[in-house]
Structure 1
Amino acid sequence: MRDQGHPPVISYSPTLVTVYLLRDGRLEPVRIPVASDSADNIITTLFRAGKLPPKPGLSSALDEFSHYDTESTRYSDTAERNDPVDNQGYRLNVIITGTGKVSREGLAQITCTIRQNKQASIWSVEVTRLFPGTPESLGDHTCFEYRDLAAKGVRLPP
């Protein structure tokens, strides 16, 4: 038997995404490796990072909730936007489950995490709480509306 050299090695370089967790009620970005930068993976990573924060002192306003699904739709509210017709974006609907009311900080975490990683294609983020109880839309958001929640020195995406 002849030696044919070293066996093949598969090299894996994870994609890093930025998720927003909370420190003293303020949004703080944290870089976390993910298998891919799909919207579904990004949101799943946000919920997982909140339950097991990667740095001391970080927390999440989403601990009582779980990510259920994400759906994107063509942005159709052109009356409010001044964008060229051929530059169409999407609205991402993040569907969650859990009891209680999602706080403004929780909405900011979801919205700013998506906007940070998908700025070019996602124009707004809609959050829907599916169950238990009656499904409830928590509105259509951009990260700009949460700029007052940014930690000192943190610049949030649009």
Structure 2
Amino acid sequence: MRRLACLLTAVLTAVPAIGGCGIEQTGVRDLGGPPVISYSPTWVTVYLLRDGRLEPARIPVGSDSAKNIVDTLFRAGKQPPKPGLTSALNDFSHHDTETTRYYDEAQRNDPAGNLGYRLSVIISGEGEISREGLAQITCTIRQNKQESIWSIEVTRLFPGPPKTWGEHTCFEFRNLAAEGVRLPP
């Protein structure tokens, strides 16, 4: 038995070029680094306040969905990207966003008619939202979703009974723009 084991060991060491499954062995080859998923953030413009006036700030987001844009606006107010910027939204939290079709009755059956959307921004928090806060939400959405979102409606869901501040476009807040800032429509 010992002799058979020695013979088998001698045969296996005599044929080093062939592996156990009949495939020839090769040396280690470097084929480059591992595959990497590169991430390139999307940049959005949010409107914060400097001395009560709307000022744009560019912030990276994971996606440019309306929900992510509004979440970014609320976060940016708590950690402004530039010194001196503030937010009228710090006492509120973004709860949800809902998009609904918005169209003129005259265009309802016209397939070539331009259809847009109304974005309902649902917030939570105590008290009344200021005109500056409405402007921040409205102009931030209009800046980043100009073509598809025609109006923005802001509603507080809780605490207390739901309250809406109506539909808005950024144009109505043009007097809140900082000097040299051009707001979206």
TM-score category of the 2 structures, normalised to the smaller one: over 0.9
Which stretches in structure 1 are left out of the alignment for 5+ residues? none
1:11 maps to which of 38, 44, 52: 38
- The SS at the match of 1:50 is helix
Query: Corresponding residue for 1:58?
Result: 85
Query: Corresponding residue for 2:123?
Result: 96
Per-residue deviation, residues 17-53 of structure 1 (Å, max 9, x unmatched): 0000000000000000000000000000000000000
- The SS at the match of 1:8 is coil
How large is the Cα RMSD of the aligned pairs? 1.5
- The SS at the match of 2:158 is coil
How does the TM-score come out when normalised to structure 1?
0.94
Task: Report the identity percentage.
Answer: 77
Deviates more, 1:68-77 or 1:90-99: 68-77
Q: Is residue 179 of structure 2 the alignment partner of residue 152 of structure 1?
A: yes
Q: Is residue 182 of structure 2 the alignment partner of residue 138 of structure 1?
A: no
2:72 maps to which of 12, 20, 45: 45
- 1:54/1:38 CA distance change after superposition, 3 Å: same
Query: Corresponding residue for 1:29?
Result: 56
Q: Count how many residue pairs are aligned between Structure 1 and Structure 2.
A: 155
* Distance (Å, rounded) in 1 between the aligned partners of 2:50 and 2:127: 22
Moved beyond 2 Å, runs of 4+: 1-4, 76-79
Which stretches in structure 2 are left out of the alignment for 5+ residues? 1-27
Structure 1 residue 78: Cα displacement: 4.3
- Which structure's relative contact order is higher, taking Cα pairs within 8 Å and 6+ residues apart? 1
- The SS at the match of 1:61 is coil
1:71 maps to which of 93, 98, 102: 98
- 1:89/1:71 CA distance change after superposition, 3 Å: same
How does the TM-score come out when normalised to structure 2?
0.81
Radius of gyration: which is bigger? 2
* Distance (Å, rounded) in 2 between the aligned partners of 1:93 and 1:124: 9
